[in-house]
Amino acid sequence: MSWRVFLGSLLIIFIGIRATDSVGLAWPVLTTAADEVGKDDLSGWDGFCRQVVKPQLPDERVIGYQEPLLLAANTDQARNDLAYHLSLLQYSLAPTLVEPTPDHRVVIVVSPSGVQVRIHGGR
C-alpha cells in the first residue's frame, strides 16, 4: 500500500466523520456561549417553583397534584402531558414528594391560568 492510498483512507475517515456531523459539532464552534444563556426555559420554571410555590408549602413530605389534564387523562397525549408536568414539578419541589391525586391536605393545582397551592384544613 502506498502512502497516497493511506492518506486517501485517512481522508475518507475524516470526511465520513464530518459528514455525519454537519450540524452537530461544527456549528457550536461558531456559536458564542453568551447566545445560549437564558434559553434554558426549565431554569425559569425551577426558580418559580422554588421562590413562589415552595414557600407556600407547609412541612409535609407528600402533597397532591391536580390539573385539568388529570381529570381527563384518558388519551396517550394527555397521559404524556401529565407525566411531563408532574415530572417537572417533582424535580423542582424535591424532596417534597408529589402524588398525582387531589386526596391530600396540600394540593398543587396547575391550570392554564397558573399554579395555585390549596391547603385544606389547618394543622
Partner 1 sequence: MLGLLLCLVAPGLAGWLLVQRAWPSRRPVWRHALLKGTLALGWAVGASSCSFFAALVLGAATRSTLLVAETAFFLGMAILVAWAGRRTADMLPDEVGTVTRPRYWLRGLLFVLFLAALASAAAKLTSGWLRQQHGEWDARAIWNLRARFLYRGQDHWTDGFSSLLQHTDYPLLLPASVARGWHYLGFETTVLPGLLALAFTLATVGLLSSAIACLRGTSQGILAGLVLLGTPFFIQLGTWQYADIPLSFYILATLVLVCLHDGSPGARPALLTLAGSMAGFAAWTKNEGMLFLGSVVLARVATVAPGSGWKVLAREGRAFALGLAPVALVVLYFKGRFAGANDLIAGQGLLDIIGKLGDGARYAQVGQALVQQRAIEPLLLLPLVLYFILLGRARVPRLRSGVLLCLFVLGLMLLGYAMVYLVSPHDLTWHLKTSLRRLLMQIWPTAIFTFFLFTATPEEALAWKAALAAPPRLAD
Provide the binding-site residues for partner 1, judged by CB under 8 A.
1-3, 5-6, 9-10, 12-21, 24-26, 28-29, 31, 33, 36-37, 39-40, 42-43, 46, 61-62, 87-88, 90-91, 94-95, 97-99
The minimum distance between CB 93 and partner 1, in angstroms, equals 9
User: What is the rounded distance in angstroms from the CA atom of residue 28 to the CA atom of residue 22?
Assistant: 11
| Shortest distance, position 2 Cβ to partner 1, whole Å | 7
Other Cβ atoms less than 10 A from the Cβ of 93: the count is 19
Min. distance of Cβ 6 from partner 1 in angstroms?
A: 6
Of residues 11, 111, 108, the one with CA closest to residue 60: 108
